[in-house]
Chains A and B, each alone.
Chain A
Amino acid sequence: MNAVYLVFGIIIPYAALFIFVVGLVYRIVRWASSPVPFRIPTTCGQQKSLPWIKSKKIENPYNNAGVIGRMALEVLVFRSLLRNTKTELRRGIQKLVYKDSKLLWLGAFVFHWSLLIILLRHLRLFVEPVPAFVISLQRLDGLFQIMLPTLYITDILIVLALGYLLLRRMAGAQLRYISLFSDYFAVLLLLGIALSGIFMRYIFRVDLVSVKELALGVLSFHPSIPAAGIGLAFYVHLFLVCTLFAYFPFSKLVHMAGVFLSPTRNLANNSRMRRHINPWNYPVKVHTYQEWEDEFREHMKDAGLPLEKE
């Protein structure tokens, strides 16, 4: 039995962590090692040109401050997904229609933020003493003290959001058509992690002190299986988390890191103000003026056009 705990409690987490870190670094290095030959921001607002025309400093940034603003909006509030505006000009058979264009944004926003808060809450298991902000975050999250132990808002929200994202993918013919197996897998995995976590907290209680002992041991590279034993539910949860970590670098989930590198978003629209350098710019075969004049000289002479060589 001990051997099984060893595998699931120590070996697999180490392996997963290793794959995650190495894999992600590899991915980022690979992206970063491909240069950005051209400055190609997608401009979503007025450019900076004449001084009396008001430019959109964030939607069409011309300097780094603007780019930082743009990226912050993109990463923190998913600005682009908010662009799905719809015109309401409905007459006649209105019953045929129902589609709220902000739902995708809402689902994504709730999911990602819940995930972040939940991750931060987990810090209390990895850090001793527990940082103050984690404690206040935990309090805030557990504001509705409905149950014992405290019911976290984000626990409910993340399940709802993931459920919506999954249903959305399965219910609509359009999205089903473009979805790959991996798209379902990622959502299901996350859902599995969230649910196993929730079960562990509210139904199959586990010994948190032992969990923390294990976590600190693993992180300090002195791993040991706590003598008290933790409970099966924990190992299920942990295994799913490990799967996610190991899967992460090979999947579309790398968008978390990739979004920061996207050249249509993270570059200022200033290519006429400052020269952008392409590291692999190479000379190409051109048709020179001389060659051109040589071909048309007689005609140009007849037409009275100036010539370099008579």
Chain B
Amino acid sequence: MALKTLLTQNKNSILQRWFNLIADTYPTGVSDFLKDNDRFTNPVGHTISQEINSLYDELLQDRVDSDKAAASLDNIIKIRAVQDFSPQEAISFVFLLKKAITDELGSELEKKQSFGEWLEFEPGIDKLASIAFDKYMESREKICELRVNEVRADREIAFRLLRLMGGKNGKHGEAVE
């Protein structure tokens, strides 16, 4: 359990590093802004910092609750799915946790005992990544659906207008058989 103790002890610095790595996926000049944790004036930065915190806690549990993790991932992915990212860029922030941990714990992990635990721990992160992919697809599908709905609403207006102007309409524009 040496690894989990390490991860718990170093939680803040690892999370900070993870957050900074994610912030660096945004264009130059923006990462500073994201670090400002105001919930209302900086929803992106706030959501990321909140949710990676709960994801991290989840990973430290003995069994990862996929529903809880999915909810956290959903909040981040929803944002990244509409921003200027390719699909892999959108979800790769999960893998950045590995980098944050190895950067932060570096030499500690190399110790034989920890390394074995690391091999057990790591698939948890991979699991998060695969959930993230599902969530990404859900978000993209939702966007498509919303767009179709908007087009459909426009079309309905156009049809109603056409019927109203068509002359051969019934009382309120409904088509006459």
Q: Mark A278-309, 1 if CB is under 8 A from B, else 0.
A: 00000000000000000000010000000000
Closest B residue to A92 using CB positions: B53
Residue count of chain B within 8 Å CB distance of chain A = 23
Total A-B residue pairs with C-beta atoms closer than 8 Å?
A: 50
Beta-carbon contact of B30 and A174 below 8 Å: yes
Q: Whole-angstrom distance between the alpha carbons of A191 and B12 in the complex?
A: 39
Closest B residue to A302 using CB positions: B167
Min CB gap B84→A, angstroms:
17
Most buried by A among B16, B37, B54: B37
Beta-carbon contact of B15 and A174 below 8 Å: no
Set of chain A residues within 8 Å of B32, measured between Cβ atoms: 172-174
Q: Whole-angstrom distance between the alpha carbons of A97 and B15 in the complex?
A: 12
Beta-carbon contact of A99 and B36 below 8 Å: yes
Beta-carbon contact of A96 and B49 below 8 Å: yes
Q: When A91-B50, A92-B49, A93-B53 are in contact, do A174 and B33 touch as well, CB less than 8 Å?
A: yes
Residue count of chain A within 8 Å CB distance of chain B = 19
Min CB gap B89→A, angstroms:
20
Q: Which parts of A50-102 form the interface with B (CB within 8 Å)?
A: 86-87, 89-97, 99
Beta-carbon contact of A96 and B16 below 8 Å: yes
Q: Mark B23-43, 1 if CB is under 8 A from A, else 0.
A: 000001111110111111100
Q: Whole-angstrom distance between the alpha carbons of A90 and B39 in the complex?
A: 8
Closest B residue to A178 using CB positions: B29
Most buried by B among A91, A93, A172, A177: A93
Task: Choose one: B12, B29, B33, B41; the contact of A93 (CB below 8 Å).
Answer: B12
Min CB gap A176→B, angstroms:
7
Q: What residues of chain B have their CB less than 8 Å away from a CB belonging to chain A?
A: 12, 15-16, 19, 28-33, 35-41, 49-50, 52-54, 165
Q: What are 10 A-to-B residue pairs whose CB atoms are below 8 Å?
A: A86-B41, A92-B50, A93-B12, A95-B16, A96-B19, A99-B36, A173-B28, A173-B30, A177-B29, A178-B29
Q: Which 5 A-B pairs have the closest CB atoms?
A: A177-B29, A97-B37, A92-B53, A174-B32, A174-B29
